[in-house]
Structures are given as structure tokens and as C-alpha cells.
Amino acid sequence: MIPYDKIKEMTGEDIPFYSEMERNTRLWYSLYKNKPPWSCGVKTDRNIISIGLPSAITRELAKPAVIESKITIQGGQKAIFLQNQIDVMMKELRHNLEKGLAFGNMIYRPYLYDNQIGIACHFFDTFFPVAFDERGILTQVVFLQKIKNKNNWYVILEHHKLENSIYTIQSKAFLSNEQGLIGQEIPLKNIKSWQNVSDNVAIGGIEKPLFGFFKTPFGNNIDDCSNMGVSVYSSAVDLIKQADEQWEALQWEYKSGERKLFISPEALQIPGNKQNTDRLFRQLDIEEKGFYQEFSPAFRDSNLYNGLQTIYKMIEFNTGLSYGVLSDPQTVAMTATEIESSKQRMYATVFDIQNALENTISDLVYAVSTLADLYQLAPNDEYEILFDWGDGIIKDTQAQQEELEHMRADVAAGLLKPELYIMKKYNVDESTAKSMMVEQSEVTEVY
């Protein structure tokens, strides 16, 4: 993360330091990287490892949210220019969204290079929120960019601020190392790729910040005073720990219950005995010749496994997933009402994520358009953004089929116009639906 003292020095403002949010963000990051605090460097008689639930949770939410997404920008030459920029960003949207859901926030920031516009994606360690307005919109932020030039490392901090329709960008450069440590300040022109960049820029007539800020559509249960988002698994951290522990207990049940033969020393000295004494045989210090005792206990794995599935189900509930995404539906008894409710829960979660993404991408397109106008990279004409997220992944196919059957019955009974049924079934507009219908004179009755 960017050091707090550097942020305060650069902005010249007394910024509230949300230590609890920072601590939790680092925790969410460690969980996502499969390095939870209960398995890394903790001395214990248990070998608890992460079973990868945090990354699985974000993956299972990001996939249905964007896998069928299609974003179209309509208009003239400006729209074509914007479409090209967004198409590049969309290639990595799903992967970036996984991290954004894990950490609670992410920012897409457009930047100029070689008379082109690139789009950088920032997570918690490369941006610091400075101020929000009364609507909860992020209006001040400091970005961090790490650059390597030959054998030297540099860090550039950019302070973006929107106030009274004036957007200012202040840039400072620092010596650094591979880890991104911020050292001595140096002139911006010392970095070759930034020689022609002004360290202070002011742009007038700006309606909103020149970046797209995404935060998860969940209430912040960590800090009531913060406008930042929280991880999708922020309410399930303790449950994730329990799942890791339960998995370790299940593995230990198998390990400790392995079949063994306890035998006397005399038995091990039988000529030609080449048995593996480390795994199957255990020598007992007794004098009884030919003694052996088999150890082969009954496993309790079904109870441990069912307990793990119950924890999975609680994690699904607390992260907005449907039952059965993580848990084994064969081991957890559910009523039809519970199954339907869990499907609706995930549908609502994905729907909220898509709405949040629409706001983020709309703001990003505005930022790209503003830079294109400022540097005359495209004509200054109108454009329109169309979002199509698809629904084949997150909707209940059986429920859709039942709805179509009811509509067809209404058409047959003369209660519904046929074109409305065709529009619903084939996802077309009214004029296309009417063109698909056969004329009444073409209908032939078959006896």
C-alpha cells in the first residue's frame, strides 16, 4: 500500500486513516493468495492448509457476471474509437473482477501514451482513496505506478482531484526498488517515458472523475464511516477458517487411520522380510515370539465430510452463492423452497455486480472520451453505451421453459398476442417477431 505520510504530504490534507479497513484488506488479500494467517508460519500440531475457497468464491461470482457480456458503443467515429479501447479492457475484465470482488474495490484509469490511450487496472495496493463527496462518489485519489528503466526502479504517484468542475492531476517521481519502496523524490523529467509529461495539469469543465471506480455491492460491515467496498467473503472469514480446519481433520482421519501391523522384533528378523516398516509395520519392544496385532479402525470420514458440507453451505449463504456451488447437494437436505431461494440469492448477487460494473464502465468510457477530446484523438461527437450481460448462465432454464409454456397456452386461448410469445422465446424485437410469423392464409390444418 502507499505510505500514509506520502499521501498526506502530496495532498496537503488531513486524511482519515482507516486502519481497520487496511488491516482487513490485507487479510482478504492473504486469503485470496491462499496464505491465510492460520496456515502461514503458525506453529501447531495441525498441518492446516488453505483449500482455496476465497479464490473459488470470487471465480464463481465473476464467471456468470461477465461470461456472456457484450458492451456496444454506438455513434460515429468517436464511438468506434471508444469501442476499440473498451474491447481491449474487456479481455481481462473477468480476471480483474475476481480480484476486485476479493479485495472489495478496483479502479480503471485511462492514460495517454504515444498518442494512444491505455487503460490500467488498480487494486488496493496501487491506489489510495482520499475523499468522497456527499453522494459517496470518489473525487480524490492517489495512484501508484512502478516503472523500471534499465537497472533503475522508480515510483510515480499521481494525485487526481475533482473540485468545482476542475480536474487536477499532480505527479511526483521517486527512486524505488523492485518491491516498490518509495525513496528520494526526483524530477519527473528524469524518467525517460515521462519527460514530456507536466507534473501539474488542470482541466476545466469536467463532470466526474477521469476513472472508473468499482466497489462490491455489499454494505461495509467493517467500517461504517468508509465509502469503500468490502470483500465478497468479508462475512465468511471465520467460516473459511473452519472449513480449512475441517478439511485438515478429514485428511488426518485418513492418515491416522491407515492400516498398521504391530509386531515383535523377532518377526522383523525373518530372512527375506522386505516389508516397508515405515508405513505398514510397527515394531514393539516385547519378547513374545511371533507377536503381531493389526490396527485397522473404522473411519469417521462420513461425519467429518458432512460437517464440511454444512460449513460450505453457510459460506454460500454469507457470500451470495447458490447452494451446491461449493457444497455437495447430495449431502445437505434442502426443501424445494430453499433451493429456489438460493438460486434467487445468487441471481440477485450477480445482478448487483453487473449494475456496479455498468456504473464503472460508463465512468471509464466518459474518462476515455474526455482524454480523446483533450488530445484530439477522435472527433467530438455523441455516443451511446449499450450493455448486454446475457442471462443463459444465471437464469433458471426450467423456470424459463415453464414461463414459455404458460405464454403459449395464453396465445392458444386468445389471451396473448402471438408476437409477444415469439419476442420472449427468440429474444427479438416486435418488428422481427411479426416478420417471423406466418400469414393466416399460409396456415394449413392437418387432419
Residue 100, Ramachandran bin (φ over 0: left; ψ between -120 and 50: alpha; else beta): alpha
* Closest by CA position to 260, among listed 245, 277, 272, 244: 277
Which range has the top average pLDDT, 101-105, 291-295, 388-392?
A: 101-105
What integer pLDDT is reported at residue 447 of this predicted model? 39
**Tens of pLDDT, residues 320-374:** 999 999 999 887 666 777 777 888 999 999 999 999 999 999 999 999 999 999 9
What is the rounded CA–CA span in Å between residue 111 and residue 194?
A: 12
Q: What is the pLDDT of residue 395?
A: 54
pLDDT score, position 392: 47
Average pLDDT, the chain: 86
186-212 core/surface letters (b: 16 or more CB in 10 A; e: else): eebeebeebeebeeeeeeeebebbbbb
pLDDT tens, residue by residue, 129-182: 999 999 999 999 999 998 887 778 899 999 999 999 999 999 999 998 777 678
Cell numbers for 84: 476499440
Cell readout for 143 is: 495512484
Give the model confidence (pLDDT) of 389-412 as tens digits.
986 455 555 667 778 889 999 999
Q: What pLDDT, on the 0 to 100 scale, is given for residue 276?
A: 46
Question: Given a cut of 60, is residue 275 above it in pLDDT?
Answer: no
Residue 245, all three cell numbers: 480446519
289 pLDDT band, cuts 50/70/90, is low
Decide which of 237 and 393 is more confident: 237
- Predicted local confidence at residue 261, as pLDDT: 73
- Find the range with the poorest average confidence among 126-130, 191-195, 255-259, 300-304: 255-259
pLDDT digits (tens, 9 = 90+) for 181-200: 788 889 998 888 888 888 99
- On whether the CB atoms of residues 393 and 63 are closer than 8 A, the answer is yes
Residue 82 pLDDT grade (very low, low, confident, very high; cuts 50, 70, 90): very high
pLDDT bucket at 12, cuts 50 / 70 / 90: confident
Exposed/middle/buried for residue 109 (C-beta within 10 Å: 0-12, 13-18, 19+) = buried
Q: Beta-carbon neighbour count of residue 112 at 10 Å? A: 14
Q: What Å distances lie between residue 62 and 69, 101, 150, 304, CA to CA?
A: 11, 8, 37, 30
Residues 34-73 have pLDDT tens digits of 999 998 666 667 888 999 999 999 999 999 999 999 999 9
The percent of residues in the chain predicted with pLDDT above 70, rounded, is 86
Euclidean distance between CA atoms 128 and 214, whole angstroms: 14
What per-residue confidence (pLDDT) applies to 335?
Answer: 73
Q: What is the predicted pLDDT for the residue at 363?
A: 97
Burial 39-61 (b: 16+ CB within 10 A, else e): beeeeeeeebbbbebbbebbbbb
